[in-house]
Amino acid sequence: MKSFIAYDESNNFPLENIPFGCFMNPTTNKVSCCTRIGDKVIDLAIIESERLFDGPIFSKMSSKIFNNDTLNVFAGLGAETRREARESL
């Protein structure tokens, strides 16, 4: 796999180990859904708004799943959705 986000392959968060979580966005002072690749925290709502999640599951969704302060909606969509999100990243 290869990402559009550069990272050192010896890092604990390579593409094969992409975590999902939430962080306090210092720009907006709001909690945002995120992931981490290498040393970069990625705001998933921004990735989603730019339509970078382009797999079959995400392309059918009409609502924003990462524009929340928890991952509850995303987690409820199951393993196939998480797999597709990782593949997009």
DSSP string, 43-80: EHHHHHHTT---SHHHHH--S-SSSSSSSHHHHHT-HH
Output the CATH code of domain 15-88: 2.30.30.230
Which of the four pLDDT bands, split at 50, 70 and 90, describes residue 6? Answer: confident
pLDDT at position 1 over 70: no
pTM of this structure: 0.80
Domains of the chain: which residue ranges?
Answer: 15-88
d(CA 65, CA 87): 17
When pLDDT is averaged across residues 48-64 and rounded to a whole number, the result is 83
